[in-house]
């Protein structure tokens, strides 16, 4: 097992009717800014519950944070936070709202041009406003990690950043608040969580036995519960299990002491920036092709995955790996996500664009062995058409 430091200060408040707890988590004299997206929280009344929980607080609101949040929109909120002397942020929504709020929290106290925060992957952040979250879409793990992804529309760049100052102080996870998710977002969330786990698990063995079992446990739960969430949207136990999987899938637990890949995610971010494809859908396309093209480098873990996650016992190594990859693709499709670019109306023209953008962003040696080069990405995307 590799050396590691595990640090995660986010308090999780999980379960039914937990929104009412937020009043106790925020200092009483705070000026609070509620941040949210396109209005789902107003339609499903989560907003009303949050307002009731904040009775007695000085509260402002900023809506309109879009999926794949943009620097341009977020800077409007940063101006308001500064002008209105806001000192506590409360993100209410999915990963985009939480990620956007992390940017706002850092940018509001940043000396210099805030895009530098993203350009430098978060390393130049020294402090940030405190914030909490109310999660409405289990997928990204942003509710319990210190990372975020922001898009600069004018530059066509979607880039990740992180900093220890960007952990939420608390996150409320009420599974009943996910009942109103459209089927497409349920699928996106399950696939995103699945791929977070594979990015930290399908690399090479370092004898991280517990991390492997955690990862396999999350994958098995997603395979078991994901389709049920589509069939029975108001099944509390199903939603609760998926929500906790998403949070634990990317909160530092399963990555402690093991190698990490993330090449699928970096390619996916470029596809979203160029074509507007949902994050989960980019992963559904790229992951199966990535596992196939890197099957030799990932052989030992792929064989373990085939056996422990998919129960594949027979056939030679190549056949077992092939079957595991096919089952992965079938699972994504069963969650309603096509796994070929053509099914999203995207053709060969995207290939040089993605490769060009990766080069422009310095992402020329991706993956756990730094061997995912622009040439390999080009070949991989040919296999995604």
Which residue ranges make up the site for ligand NZQ (CB under 6 A)?
Answer: 37-41, 44, 67-68, 93-97, 99, 136-137, 139-142, 145, 147-149, 177-178, 180-181, 185, 188-189, 192, 250, 265, 279
Q: For residues 229 and 338, is the Cβ–Cβ distance under 8 A? A: no
Considering only CA atoms, which of 249, 271, 253 is closest in space to residue 340? Answer: 271
Pattern of binders to Zn ion over 245-274, x per CB under 5 A? ------------------------------
Q: Which residue has the tokens 């009717």?
A: 17
Q: Which residue's CB is nearer to Zn ion, number 192 or number 216? A: 192
Quick one: what does residue 104 bind among ligand NZQ, Zn ion, none, with the CB cut-off 5 to 8 Å set by partner type?
none
The answer to the question of residue 192 lying near Zn ion (CB under 5 A) is yes
* Shortest CB 208 distance to ligand NZQ, Å: 21
Query: Distance between CA 371 and CA 313 in Å, rounded?
Result: 30
Q: Which residue's CB is nearer to ligand NZQ, number 57 or number 167? A: 167
* Shortest CB 312 distance to ligand NZQ, Å: 27
The answer to the question of residue 99 lying near Zn ion (CB under 5 A) is no
Quick one: what does residue 141 bind among ligand NZQ, Zn ion, none, with the CB cut-off 5 to 8 Å set by partner type?
ligand NZQ
Q: For residues 180 and 44, is the Cβ–Cβ distance under 8 A? A: yes
Query: Distance between CA 380 and CA 385 in Å, rounded?
Result: 9
* Shortest CB 164 distance to ligand NZQ, Å: 14
Quick one: what does residue 185 bind among ligand NZQ, Zn ion, none, with the CB cut-off 5 to 8 Å set by partner type?
ligand NZQ
Q: Give every CB contact of residue 237 below 8 A, 6+ residues apart in sequence.
A: none
Q: Which residue's CB is nearer to ligand NZQ, number 94 or number 367? A: 94
Query: Distance between CA 362 and CA 76 in Å, rounded?
Result: 29
Q: Which residue's CB is nearer to ligand NZQ, number 32 or number 191? A: 191
Q: For residues 261 and 367, is the Cβ–Cβ distance under 8 A? A: yes
Sign of the CA dihedral with 269 first, then 271, 274, and 279 last: negative
Q: Which residue's CB is nearer to ligand NZQ, number 18 or number 142? A: 142
Quick one: what does residue 309 bind among Zn ion, ligand NZQ, none, with the CB cut-off 5 to 8 Å set by partner type?
none
Quick one: what does residue 366 bind among Zn ion, ligand NZQ, none, with the CB cut-off 5 to 8 Å set by partner type?
none
* Alpha-helical segments (H) within the chain: 22-25, 40-43, 46-53, 71-83, 95-107, 115-119, 183-201, 209-231, 236-249, 263-275, 279-293, 299-308, 317-334, 350-360, 374-382
Q: Which residue's CB is nearer to ligand NZQ, number 140 or number 211? A: 140
Query: Which one of the spans 12-20, 190-198, 221-229, 315-323 is the region binding Zn ion (CB under 5 A)?
Result: 190-198
In Å, how far are 4, 201, 262 from 259, measured between CA atoms?
A: 11, 8, 10
* Shortest CB 98 distance to ligand NZQ, Å: 7
The answer to the question of residue 212 lying near Zn ion (CB under 5 A) is no
The answer to the question of residue 199 lying near Zn ion (CB under 5 A) is no
Q: For residues 75 and 104, is the Cβ–Cβ distance under 8 A? A: no
Both tokens of 217, joined, read 């446990």
* Shortest CB 138 distance to ligand NZQ, Å: 8
Considering only CA atoms, which of 269, 259, 262 is closest in space to residue 358? Answer: 269
Quick one: what does residue 133 bind among ligand NZQ, Zn ion, none, with the CB cut-off 5 to 8 Å set by partner type?
none
Q: Which residue's CB is nearer to Zn ion, number 35 or number 145? A: 145
Q: Which residue's CB is nearer to ligand NZQ, number 18 or number 40? A: 40
Q: Among all residues, whose Cβ is closest to Zn ion?
A: 192
* Shortest CB 173 distance to ligand NZQ, Å: 12
* Shortest CB 5 distance to ligand NZQ, Å: 18
- What are the phi and psi torsion angles at 255 (to 5°)? -90, -10
Q: For residues 222 and 242, is the Cβ–Cβ distance under 8 A? A: yes
Q: For residues 34 and 62, is the Cβ–Cβ distance under 8 A? A: yes
Residues that bind Zn ion (CB under 5 A): 192
């Amino acid at each position: 097992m590799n050396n590691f430091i595990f640090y995660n200060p986010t308090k999780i408040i999980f379960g039914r009717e937990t929104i009412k707890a937020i009043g106790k988590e925020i200092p009483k004299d705070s000026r609070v800014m509620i941040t949210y997206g396109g209005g789902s929280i107003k339609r499903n009344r989560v907003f009303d519950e949050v307002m009731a929980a904040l009775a007695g607080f000085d509260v402002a609101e900023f809506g309109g944070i879009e999926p794949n949040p943009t620097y341009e929109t977020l800077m409007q909120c940063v101006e308001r936070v500064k002008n209105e002397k806001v000192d506590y942020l409360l993100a209410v929504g999915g990963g985009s709202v939480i990620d956007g709020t992390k940017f706002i929290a850092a940018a509001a106290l940043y000396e210099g041009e805030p895009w530098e925060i993203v350009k430098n992957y978060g390393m130049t952040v020294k402090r940030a406003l405190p914030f909490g979250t109310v999660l409405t879409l289990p997928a990204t793990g942003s509710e319990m990690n210190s990372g975020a992804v922001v898009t600069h529309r004018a530059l066509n760049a979607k880039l990740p950043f992180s900093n220890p100052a960007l952990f939420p102080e608390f996150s409320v996870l009420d599974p009943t608040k996910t009942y109103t998710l459209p089927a497409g977002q349920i699928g996106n969330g399950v696939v995103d969580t699945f791929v977070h786990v594979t990015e930290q698990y399908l690399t090479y063995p370092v004898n991280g036995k517990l991390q492997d079992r955690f990862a396999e446990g999350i994958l098995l739960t997603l395979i078991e519960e994901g389709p049920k969430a589509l069939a029975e949207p108001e099944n509390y136990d199903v939603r609760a299990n998926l929500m906790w999987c998403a949070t634990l899938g990317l909160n530092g637990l399963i990555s402690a002491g093991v190698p990490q890949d993330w090449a699928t995610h970096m390619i996916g971010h470029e596809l979203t920036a160029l074509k507007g494809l949902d994050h989960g859908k980019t992963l559904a396309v790229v992951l199966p092709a990535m596992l196939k093209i890197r099957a030799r480098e990932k052989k030992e873990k792929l064989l373990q995955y085939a056996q422990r996650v998919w129960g594949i016992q027979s056939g030679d190594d190549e056949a077992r790996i092939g079957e595991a990859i096919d089952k992965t693709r079938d699972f994504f499709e069963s969650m309603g996500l096509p796994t070929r670019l053509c099914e999203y109306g995207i053709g060969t023209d995207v290939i040089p664009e993605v490769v060009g953008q990766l080069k422009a962003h310095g992402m020329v040696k991706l993956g756990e062995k730094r061997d995912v080069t622009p040439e390999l990405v080009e070949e991989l995307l040919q296999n995604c058409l």
